[in-house]
């Protein structure tokens, strides 16, 4: 019977860490023609590490760049902030007191040191502030082309330097996307990261991407996709909750799974990209048995 098939799919899924919230979600999952993945913490492990520190000129040193950046990031729980704080701690650097620290969504953080404003932000935002020197711009392009994310550290109206970070794709990201493709499901990566870094990571994994997206842009992008495709969105559920809600099916994966379960339609408890294909496969088999 239909209720028995659904109940069986739900319990088989639960045993494999594939949580689906009921029959309607199974039905929508079976129809998915496209998966939109958030990048950080979903396709990647979400644990970036600092790889390079580049002072803006010879009057500045790398420790000063990390000290300032870590001081500004003290109150932030962004993965990039955690990586920068980790580096400062490893090097035994003493942090400076800052005040009025606040996040600039999709761009970085800003705070006050003495009477000066200071920032750790994306190169795009640094350009908008008019404080990105040519010397750093060339380094940034090369670092981004190798798949690293760069942030610019700014004190007052001058750049102190830049920090590059790498967040590795999850081990099974390539295989997971390939499995979807073999089922006729298209995969796209959505990210707030810059287009060069996004292209390098997307090429490594082997999927389409949309870069430079602010949190609201992700929602707009999902809405556009839903006009042409049956869309499953997979994200960490913390920053992505509105995009997850906009997709036909919103699935949480990674660090935010517990929180996200309240709003998402489903969750992947084992943090495997390959489980997205497994979830769609389970839903398809279930619907085929019912018909």
Do 192 and 212 contact (CB within 8 A), yes or no? yes
Rule CB under 6 A: is residue 283 a binding residue for ligand ADP?
Answer: no
Give the DSSP H/E element, type plus range, for residue 83: helix 79-90
Q: CA 223: distance to chain centroid?
A: 19
Tell which one of 149, 160, 255, 257 touches ligand ADP (CB under 6 A).
149
Q: Which of residues 115-144 bind ligand ADP (CB under 6 A)?
A: 120-122
Q: Report the residue count for the chain.
A: 291
**Shortest distance, CB of residue 262 to ligand ADP, whole angstroms?**
21
CA distance 190 to 181: 17
Q: Buried (b) or exposed (e) across 44-76, using 16+ Cβ within 10 A? A: bbbebebbbbbbbeeebeeebbbbbbbbbbbeb
Rule CB under 6 A: is residue 80 a binding residue for ligand ADP?
Answer: yes
Among the listed residues 194, 221, 225, the one whose alpha carbon sits nearest the alpha carbon of residue 240: 221
CA distance 35 to 248: 10
From Mg ion, ligand ADP, none, interface partner of 87 (C-beta below 5 to 8 A by class): none
Q: By CB under 6 A, which span of 47-55, 103-111, 224-232, 253-261 interacts with ligand ADP?
A: 103-111
CA distance 19 to 265: 8
Rule CB under 6 A: is residue 40 a binding residue for ligand ADP?
Answer: yes
**Shortest distance, CB of residue 188 to ligand ADP, whole angstroms?**
13
Residue whose CB is nearest to ligand ADP in the complex, by number:
192
Alpha helices in 208-267 (DSSP H): 215-228, 241-246, 257-260
Strand residues in 137-259 grouped as ranges (E): 149-155, 158-166, 186-190, 208-210, 231-235, 249-253
Tell which one of 149, 239, 257, 286 touches Mg ion (CB under 5 A).
239
Size of the site for ligand ADP (CB under 6 A): 19
From ligand ADP, Mg ion, none, interface partner of 42 (C-beta below 5 to 8 A by class): none
| Closer by beta carbon to ligand ADP, 60 or else 148 | 148
Rule CB under 5 A: is residue 194 a binding residue for Mg ion?
Answer: no
Q: By CB under 6 A, which span of 104-112, 153-161, 274-282, 283-291 interacts with ligand ADP?
A: 104-112
| Closer by beta carbon to ligand ADP, 39 or else 60 | 39
Tell which one of 193, 229, 265, 275 touches ligand ADP (CB under 6 A).
193
**Shortest distance, CB of residue 120 to Mg ion, whole angstroms?**
15
Rule CB under 6 A: is residue 71 a binding residue for ligand ADP?
Answer: no
**Shortest distance, CB of residue 196 to Mg ion, whole angstroms?**
18
Q: Enumerate residues 6+ apart whose C-beta is below 8 A from 161.
A: 53, 54, 55, 56, 60, 62, 64, 65, 136, 152, 153
Among the listed residues 101, 105, 21, 32, the one whose alpha carbon sits nearest the alpha carbon of residue 68: 101
Rule CB under 5 A: is residue 197 a binding residue for Mg ion?
Answer: no
Give catalytic residue positions. 38
Could you count the other beta carbons within 10 Å of the beta carbon of residue 271? Answer: 17
Q: Interface residues with ligand ADP (CB under 6 A)?
A: 39-40, 73, 76, 78, 80-81, 106-109, 120-122, 149, 151, 191-193
């Amino acid at each position: 019977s239909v209720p028995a098939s659904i109940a069986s799919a739900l319990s088989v899924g639960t045993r494999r860490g594939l949580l689906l919230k009921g029959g309607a979600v199974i039905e929508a999952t079976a129809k998915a023609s496209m998966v939109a993945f958030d990048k950080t913490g979903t396709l990647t492990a979400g644990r970036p590490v600092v790889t390079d520190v580049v002072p803006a000129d010879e009057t500045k040193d790398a420790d000063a760049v990390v000290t300032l950046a870590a001081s500004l990031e003290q109150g932030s729980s962004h993965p990039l902030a955690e990586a920068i704080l980790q580096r400062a701690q490893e090097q035994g650097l003493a942090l400076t007191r800052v005040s009025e620290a606040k996040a600039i969504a999709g761009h970085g953080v800003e705070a006050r040191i003495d009477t000066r404003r200071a920032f750790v932000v994306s190169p795009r935002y640094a350009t908008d502030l008019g404080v990105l020197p040519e010397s750093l711009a060339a380094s940034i392009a090369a670092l981004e082309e190798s798949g690293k994310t760069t942030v610019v550290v700014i004190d007052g109206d001058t750049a102190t330097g830049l920090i590059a970070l790498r967040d590795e794709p999850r081990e099974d990201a390539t295989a997971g996307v390939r499995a979807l493709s073999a089922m006729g499901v298209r995969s796209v990566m959505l990210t707030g990261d810059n287009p060069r870094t996004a292209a390098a990571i997307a090429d490594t994994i082997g999927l389409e991407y949309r870069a430079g997206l602010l949190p609201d842009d992700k929602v707009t992008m999902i809405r556009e996709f839903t006009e042409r495709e049956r869309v499953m969105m997979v994200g960490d559920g913390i920053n992505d909750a509105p995009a997850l809600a906009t997709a036909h099916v919103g699935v949480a994966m990674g660090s935010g799974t517990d929180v996200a379960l309240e709003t998402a339609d489903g969750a992947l408890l084992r943090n495997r990209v390959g489980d997205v294909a497994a979830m769609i496969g389970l839903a398809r088999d279930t619907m085929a048995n019912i018909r």
